[in-house]
């Protein structure tokens, strides 16, 4: 088959990967010279721990397996099975972790409750004050700023992959074909539109009532820490955000332990992962109301610095980068992704939300299976 993939973020790139793996020819079209959206502006976390039970967790676990296999073949991904720790400081936070441990799928996630000394033995950089920590062994990480480039290099080596950057697809031409803004028409056996947060223009024409929204976030990255951060780290605010932690204990946490006003105002949680150069990627915020702000606000960064320093027990290295990003999320947040045939031979795959980096290999695999690649 000849597969046309539109969009070179992580979802589009994984669709190209599965097509090439199954022996097909791929033409990959990206409106920028290289992808520069949410697929690069994220933590690079393969985040299994907080996923909802059922389809979402199954997708994340399958994606985790696929990421590891691809990482063995493409070292430039920087895949590492580092797991995650969520330090706990109050009885209410501890109760949420204990409720998570009682889930039927707790073992599949690799959940374990650790004492403070056990957690520090696993991640010695956590010298701050906490009483226990929730460990999730199945979490992992890749390098988001270089992952797509590494995958593209491996795809090009196959001899069955063509990359066309700096071209915006403007029109679907009947079935199985698209026209770009250079006037070129690209025909194949199937077209897969993986347009990420680009939901206007052609996407709006194809699906005027697309059940997907845009979400904006702020993040930052520091200079090298000077020591290994051997696991990813979250704070207990992540319990309020991720569906795996829904329980009576979470209701009690929300009722009895007020969230920091800044964190509440910006719908914040701490997630932190160390990059290969030693720097820390730290975030994040969530903004849902349009129009989005065009600037980044300092108050959320100040909050994150306080939280991180309280866990590390030391000053944070100099912040070197701050950025905002926008991703697409299904309005029904229980859905892993929106996958829809929009014309004969043309499919739209978008809206994984914050699951995109985690779940993209399994999302693309399911598309390939359903389309009979």
Largest Cα–Cα distance in the chain? 63
Q: How many helices (H) and strands (E) does the chain have?
A: 12, 19
Model-wide pTM > 0.85: yes
Question: Quick one: pLDDT at residue 12?
Answer: 97
Boundaries of every domain in the chain: 1-80+140-211+335-373, 118-128+212-330
Question: For each of the chain's 373 residues, which pLDDT tens digit applies?
Answer: 999 999 999 999 999 999 999 999 999 999 999 998 998 899 999 999 999 999 999 999 999 999 999 999 999 999 999 999 999 999 999 999 999 999 999 999 999 999 999 999 999 999 999 999 999 999 999 999 999 999 999 999 999 999 999 999 999 998 899 999 999 999 999 999 999 999 999 999 999 999 999 999 999 999 999 999 999 999 999 999 999 999 999 999 999 999 999 999 999 999 999 999 999 999 999 999 989 989 999 999 999 999 999 999 999 999 999 999 999 999 999 999 999 999 999 999 999 999 999 999 999 999 999 999 9
- Residues in Cβ contact with 208 at an 8 Å cutoff, skipping those fewer than 6 apart: none
What is the enclosing helix (H) or strand (E) of 62? helix 55-73
Homologous superfamily, domain 118-128+212-330: D-Amino Acid Oxidase, subunit A, domain 2 (3.30.9.10)
Question: Quick one: pLDDT at residue 352?
Answer: 97
Distance from C-alpha of 103 to C-alpha of 101, rounded to nearest angstrom: 6
Question: Quick one: pLDDT at residue 243?
Answer: 96
- Which neighbouring-strand residues pair with 319? 222
Question: Quick one: pLDDT at residue 175?
Answer: 83
DSSP 8-class letter at 76:
G
Question: Quick one: pLDDT at residue 174?
Answer: 82
Q: Which of 51, 53, 48, 9 is nearest to 30 (CA)?
A: 9
Q: Which of 26, 52, 125 is nearest to 364 (CA)?
A: 26
Question: Quick one: pLDDT at residue 218?
Answer: 97
CB 131 within 8 A of CB 75: no
In this structure, whether the domain defined by 1-80+140-211+335-373 belongs to CATH 3.50.50.60 is answered with yes
Question: Quick one: pLDDT at residue 276?
Answer: 95
3-state secondary structure of 342: strand
3-state secondary structure of 81: coil
Distance from C-alpha of 211 to C-alpha of 187, rounded to nearest angstrom: 28
Residues in the chain, how many? Answer: 373
Q: Which of 261, 217, 223, 237 is nearest to 311 (CA)?
A: 237
């Amino acid at each position: 088959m000849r597969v046309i993939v539109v969009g070179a973020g992580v979802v589009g790139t994984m669709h190209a990967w599965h097509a090439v793996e199954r022996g097909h020819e791929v033409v990959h079209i990206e409106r920028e010279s290289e992808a520069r959206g949410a697929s690069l502006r994220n933590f690079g976390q393969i985040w299994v721990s907080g996923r909802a039970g059922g389809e979402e967790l199954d997708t994340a676990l399958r994606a985790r397996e696929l990421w590891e296999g691809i990482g063995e073949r493409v070292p430039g991904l920087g895949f590492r099975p580092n797991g995650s720790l969520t330090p706990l400081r109050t009885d209410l936070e501890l109760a949420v972790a204990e409720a998570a441990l009682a889930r039927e799928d707790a073992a599949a996630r690799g959940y374990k409750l650790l004492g403070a000394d056990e957690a520090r033995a696993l991640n010695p950089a956590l010298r701050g004050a906490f009483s226990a920590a929730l460990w999730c062994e199945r979490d992992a990480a890749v390098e988001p700023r270089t992952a797509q480039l590494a995958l593209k290099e491996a795809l090009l080596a196959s001899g069955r992959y063509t990359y066309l950057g700096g071209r915006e697809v403007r029109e679907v031409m009947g079935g199985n074909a698209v026209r770009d803004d250079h006037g070129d028409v690209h025909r194949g056996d199937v077209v897969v539109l993986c347009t990420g947060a680009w939901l206007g223009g052609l996407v709006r024409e194809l699906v005027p009532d697309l059940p997907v929204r845009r979400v904006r976030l702020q993040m930052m990255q520091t200079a090298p820490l000077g020591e290994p951060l051997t696991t990813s780290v979250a704070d207990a605010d992540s319990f309020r955000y991720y569906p795996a932690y829904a329980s009576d204990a979470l209701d009690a946490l929300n009722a009895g332990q007020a969230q920091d006003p800044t964190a509440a105002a910006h719908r914040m949680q701490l997630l932190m992962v160390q990059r290969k150069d030693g720097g820390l990627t730290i975030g994040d915020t969530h903004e849902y109301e349009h129009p989005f702000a065009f600037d980044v606000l300092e108050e959320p960064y100040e909050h994150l610095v306080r939280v991180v320093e309280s866990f590390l027990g030391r000053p944070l290295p100099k912040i070197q980068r701050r950025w905002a990003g926008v991703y697409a999320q299904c309005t029904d947040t229980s859905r892993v992704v929106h996958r829809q045939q929009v014309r004969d031979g043309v499919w739209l795959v978008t809206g994984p939300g914050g699951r995109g980096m985690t779940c993209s290999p399994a999302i693309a695999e399911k598309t390939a299976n359903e389309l009979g690649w």
